[in-house]
Amino acid sequence: MAYKCKSCGYTSVEWLGRCPKCGDWDSFRQSESEDTSGKDIVDEAPKPLSEISFDSKERLPTGIGEFDRVLGGGLIPGSVTLLGGDPGIGKSTLLLQAATNLAKRGKVLYISGEESSKQLKMRADRLGLSADDLIIYSGQSLENAVSHLNELEPICVIVDSIQSLQSTGNSSSLGSTKQVRELGREFTRLAKKKDIATLLIGHITKSGDFSGPKTIEHLVDSTVYFEGKRDNNVRMMRPEKNRFGSTRLLGLFQMTEKGLQEILNPSQFFAKKNGHSDQKGTTTVCTVEGTRPILVEIQALVTPSNSGGSAQRRTTGLDYNRASLLFAVIQKQLGINLQEFDIYLNVVGGFKVEETAADLGIVSAILSSFQDRKIDSQTVIIGEVGLSGEIRPVKNLKSRVNEAEKLGYRKALIPENHAKSNELETNVDIRPVSVLADAISELELRE
């Protein structure tokens, strides 16, 4: 005999007034131990590794290059992928586009627990999508969904979303941890047994984590996050877990009236060809996402503070703590007092820069605005800034410089340590700098 929390499924040998896991009061109910002996489980006969064959051509391309890139080349039959993101960010649109492409290869079952079939049809018509073998089931019953799946035997199943379905044999509430866990197990079992590529949509919390779906991350083969802001049309896709490919990849999309469009040349999208905007306080840096070099513009605005108290500091697309560190380095190592100035930093295009290789470009943008002087628009700036003002080496320098050359940039500031390696085969004018003072002299930002 055991007691289970009806909200989250936590089990205790004795009755508890409050669940120690989810915090709900008076949620424990008496339950018999589950008998799993009769459950239909996936089982295969043992065989030598050398006798197990797999053809890479078995992957199912979604027809969306950036999505396939993140997945490692497409969907694996029998795999389960969890796609997470904020509500309204475009997850359903992305998978509806993928579903119509996959339906050209065989039947695709789209299980919608959030939208009616008519709503999905309206969305498909608006996006110009159509496919005879794309089967829509609108409902919230796990049992009905499984029945349709067994009848249709599709090559791919899409569940939108896993929080919107419910098993009638489970007394916990819709979207609860227990419900999501049972749904995840059932769809994973069916995927492995019937060799069906399965995509599960899961909504994330304000903190950026899966709530209910977090409990099934260990069950799925891949976990992919779809990121972006509703007031910006740029969307980024990052794999958090991938049993069939790398997690050091990035997919980029632009939300348009015709759905999600791939950003095939990110550098040209986020930074202008042949140089950045000819404005004071603007620099171009090259960040690397996974193995992908991307040029982006950094903007800074430094203005005397009128707040009467502490100066304002705002960042968009940059880590605030890292920016605060750079403010301190400027003041200490260059002797420039920024305490009475408001500083605003922005990454153009809604991109998010998270690596330290952009440090020197950020500092240069701040000083350009502070000194009211322009930086050569055809210069790309690369380097990490240390606490003592030294310019530290960065990874993937060669690919960064090559990316700048492709877009017509003529000059690059880089850490001096890299210049000695003679690995840079480029027509770009390389300017090595060892300390922050050398960099601002090279950029003609010294007073």
Kindly report the CATH number assigned to the domain that includes residue 338: 3.30.230.10
Distance CA 286, CA 280 (A): 19
193 and 295 share one domain = no
- Mode of pairing for the β-strands spanning 197-203 and 80-85: parallel
Distance CA 139, CA 165 (A): 8
HSE on the CB side for 385, CA within 13 Å? 28
284 and 412 share one domain = yes
**The total number of structural domains that make up the chain:** 3
Residue 340 lies in a domain: yes
78 and 225 share one domain = yes
Length of the chain: 447
User: CA 256 → CA 68, 85, 132, 162, 396, distances in Å?
Assistant: 20, 18, 25, 26, 33
Which of 226, 241, 264 is a domain's end point? 264
Angle at 272 between CA 424 and CA 68, to 5 degrees: 75
Residue 52 lies in a domain: no
Kindly provide the residue ranges of all beta strands, DSSP E only, lying in 181-312, ordered along the sequence: 197-203, 222-228, 234-242, 251-256, 259-262, 282-289, 292-304
- Nearest Cα neighbor of 321 from 305, 347, 289, 345 is 345
- Nearest Cα neighbor of 217 from 182, 191, 184 is 184
Is the CB of residue 109 less than 8 Å from the CB of residue 154? yes
Distance CA 200, CA 62 (A): 15
pLDDT on residue 364: 97
- Please name the amino acid found at residue 114: E
Residue 259 lies in a domain: yes
pLDDT on residue 37: 41
Is the CB of residue 78 less than 8 Å from the CB of residue 156? no
Which of 246, 264, 282 is a domain's end point? 264
106 and 64 share one domain = yes
pLDDT on residue 57: 59
Angle at 209 between CA 218 and CA 177, to 5 degrees: 60
211 and 321 share one domain = no
274 and 190 share one domain = no
Q: What is the pLDDT along the chain (447 residues), one digit of tens a residue?
A: 578 887 777 778 778 888 887 788 888 887 754 444 445 556 678 889 888 876 665 899 999 999 999 999 999 999 999 999 888 899 999 999 999 999 999 999 999 999 999 999 999 999 999 999 999 999 999 999 999 999 999 999 999 989 999 988 877 788 788 888 899 999 999 999 999 999 999 987 655 555 556 678 888 999 999 998 877 899 999 999 999 988 889 999 999 999 999 999 999 898 876 566 678 999 999 999 888 899 999 999 999 998 767 899 999 999 999 999 999 999 999 999 999 999 999 999 889 999 999 999 999 999 999 999 999 999 999 999 999 999 999 999 999 999 999 999 999 999 997 655 456 788 999 999 999 999 999 998 866
If DSSP codes are grouped into helix, strand and coil, which group holds residue 243?
A: coil
Residue 280 lies in a domain: yes
Residue 308 lies in a domain: yes
Which of 264, 299, 323 is a domain's end point? 264
- Please name the amino acid found at residue 277: S
276 and 397 share one domain = yes
214 and 320 share one domain = no
Residue 404 lies in a domain: yes
Query: What value does the CA radius of gyration of the chain take, rounded to a whole number of Å?
Result: 26
229 and 308 share one domain = no
395 and 434 share one domain = yes
Domain that holds residue 16: 1-33
pLDDT on residue 213: 64
In the sheet that holds 411-415, the strands lie side by side as 313-316, 341-347, 292-304, 282-289, 379-381, 411-415, 429-433
- CB atoms < 10 A from the CB of 404, how many? 27
Residue 43 lies in a domain: no
245 and 339 share one domain = no
Distance CA 268, CA 346 (A): 18
Distance CA 355, CA 17 (A): 47
310 and 257 share one domain = no
Distance CA 280, CA 95 (A): 42
pLDDT on residue 94: 97
Residue 408 lies in a domain: yes
Q: What is the DSSP letter of 204?
A: B
